Amino acid sequence: MKWTYLILIVGTLLCPLLLSFDKHVRYNKSWKSALFAAFIIAIPFLIWDIIFTYNGFWGFTPEYLSGLYIYNLPIEEVLFFIVVPFACTFIYEVIKYFFRSYSMKVFNAAFHMAIPLYAMGLVLISDFGYYTLTVVISSSIILFWQLKSHDLKFIALAFILSLVPFFIVNGILTGCCTEEPVVWYSEAQKVAPRLFTIPMEDILYSYTLVVANILLFERIQRKRS
């Protein structure tokens, strides 16, 4: 269907918008910070996206797009870097409230070990390409930033829970429900195994995007307060 990618973007946005006015979380009061963080973090991701699309490391099937482009990227792809972080930051804010009485020390320690182990597994599992290499480097940078932010104890759980909508949205984008994938990947630039239809690298890509946004969001919130 022509509007598949855009429908996914709109669907991703609806949940945080509709639930933003919950009296406990009040995410609507944090919209400005969340959107500002998303716009800033989107810049390096869009540059990354433009370069990889230009070189054919990944691309988009026109039949599932609206037909509007910014440079060589579909408008849906550009919106992805605003809407997805906005939605995931909402998850983070919900976690902060409902898990506020938990210490999370053991969980966070395990998570901080899991990210580099997963990255190591990617480079050892089979031949890898530029996509693998870039997500390993970028996720390592963000993990270092996260470890320096000792007071942000709910980031790991928020990311883990964000993987639920991640598998749904990315599964559809990578072809679980369509004849061709909405977003395709060059097999030469990634490891061969996939998680269902999803490239294994997408876990680290998502980690880099989501956690970078939350870290910047928290910094903006502190400055505002």
- The tens digit of pLDDT for each residue in 116-132 reads 999 999 999 989 999 99
3-state secondary structure of 5: helix
Distance, CA of 67 to CA of 75 (rounded, Å): 8
Residue 63 in this model has a pLDDT that exceeds 80: yes
pLDDT tens digits along 141-190: 999 999 998 778 999 999 999 999 999 999 999 999 999 999 999 999 99
Give the pLDDT score at 85: 98
Give the pLDDT score at 152: 86
- How many domains are there within the chain? 1
Give the pLDDT score at 192: 95
Range of the domain at 128: 4-224
Q: For residue 192, what is the DSSP state? A: S
Is residue 213 very low, low, confident or very high in pLDDT (cuts 50, 70, 90)?
Answer: very high
Q: Which phi and psi angles does 60 have, rounded to 5°? A: -135, 140
Q: Which residue has the higher pLDDT, 90 or 151?
A: 90
